[in-house]
Structure 1
């Protein structure tokens, strides 16, 4: 059995365009999938558009947002070292992964949507039938991905992502470069959201998995691992039938 490989893509952006607030990766949206993958013995690569340092949104380190898992990793020097030395997307674009996972944080709204290498990685991953996952603002990385037939990846797909009401609750409506919820809908997606804002919501549509917000991090990790297990089991059956 070959080793399962997961690529987690995170932002390099550490500040809103206004300069009013720092931003970056929302830590729990990385730590939960990272822990779940490590628990299974999977190989995890952390990459970002430019490589190098991954800024972490200070909001995600506050006592009410920093959960046990995230706290453990934040206090782990070797993990912090990983965040200082992410690979660039150019370095990993031709590697094969079982899952490509877009972690969120407001920083992603600036460097994910128009990154051509990211778009290429996602399109190829999706069209090869392998898993594509995105959580919270990371879903912005799906916005401009086109498939080989010229259609947008998310057209007609059930998905979720951070919604506009939540943006208001976070006090960032005036800071963000665009309205993520409206943009996802404008691309023709079948956008879903939790009945109560800031609660967990994960949507699976074929080999695409999306989570609504940071509170979906834990469930998102479980669902991704579950879908991976399903895919692995199916490919085993196919291989056995071929022999």
Structure 2
């Protein structure tokens, strides 16, 4: 079985005050699902807009920062986790030579069993702006492929519309990085969009964990969504269950 992992190629995020803020993909949101997918015997391809090698957000491999993006009372394994994220990223060839989203065709999508969109604030900068990615996801929906997104990976869904101009996920239950979580980042008040607000505006039935940074995963039809980095493990495990059901 094959899984296509879509990632941001942006290394910075243009904020409302004009700052080009260092960003990229969030390490946990790629590494944890990637390890689970491959351990389950799946082949994993990586695709980015333009086929550019993705850049890891350095704060996502900084043990001093990781303690702020997990639930209170969760195990302190930040040093070991950061080291493992770096090891996997450095030894995953798909990250060095990703597929260009623009090169994918309908027949290519038919070869994948599912699509997973990884996150990181960098995703805001390129995923919702790619017409080609929107087309890839339309093909996946038309072929009834299971989709999964985590955290800011949901930005890839924002530009989708059906033949009548409606958002295809209107009325779906889903979760994503919450406004409360955005408010405790150093980009609060400066982001180009607030994902919770955008999804709700489009018609999602948004839900979240009771406490910020807690794991929360929602499945509605063929869409599996995870709230934040700490949700990556549960999201990947749930997605694997969805793939096993065909």
Q: TM-score, normalised by structure 1?
A: 0.88
Indicate yes or no: 2:31 matched with 1:34. no
Indicate yes or no: 2:99 matched with 1:87. yes
Indicate yes or no: 2:142 matched with 1:132. no
Alpha-carbon distance between aligned partners in 1 of 2:85 and 2:206, rounded to the nearest angstrom: 32
Q: Tell me the alpha carbon deviations over residues 161-215 of structure 1, each in whole angstroms, 9 at most, x when there is no partner.
A: 1111100112222332111111000001111111111110001001001100001
- 2:240 corresponds in structure 1 to 225
Q: Per the alignment, in what secondary structure is the counterpart of residue 44 of structure 2?
A: strand
Indicate yes or no: 2:4 matched with 1:7. yes
Alpha-carbon distance between aligned partners in 2 of 1:63 and 1:129, rounded to the nearest angstrom: 39
Q: Per the alignment, in what secondary structure is the counterpart of residue 112 of structure 1?
A: helix
* Runs of 4+ deviating beyond 4 Å: 66-70
Superposition pairs of residues 93-104 of structure 1, within 5 angstroms: 93-94=105-106, 95=108, 96=110, 97-104=112-119
Q: Which moved more, 1:177-186 or 1:149-158?
A: 149-158
- 1:116 corresponds in structure 2 to 131
Q: Per the alignment, in what secondary structure is the counterpart of residue 16 of structure 1?
A: strand
**Is there any run of 5+ residues in structure 2 with no aligned partner, and where?**
67-77
Answer yes or no: is the 8 Å Cα contact 2:29–2:150 preserved in 1: yes
Indicate yes or no: 2:216 matched with 1:201. yes
Q: Tell me the alpha carbon deviations over residues 122-154 of structure 1, each in whole angstroms, 9 at most, x when there is no partner.
A: 122122211011100111111121134432122
Aligned length: 227
- 2:75 corresponds in structure 1 to none
Q: Which moved more, 1:92-101 or 1:58-67?
A: 58-67
Q: Which moved more, 1:124-133 or 1:103-112?
A: 124-133
Q: Which moved more, 1:127-136 or 1:144-153?
A: 144-153
RMSD over aligned Cα atoms:
1.7
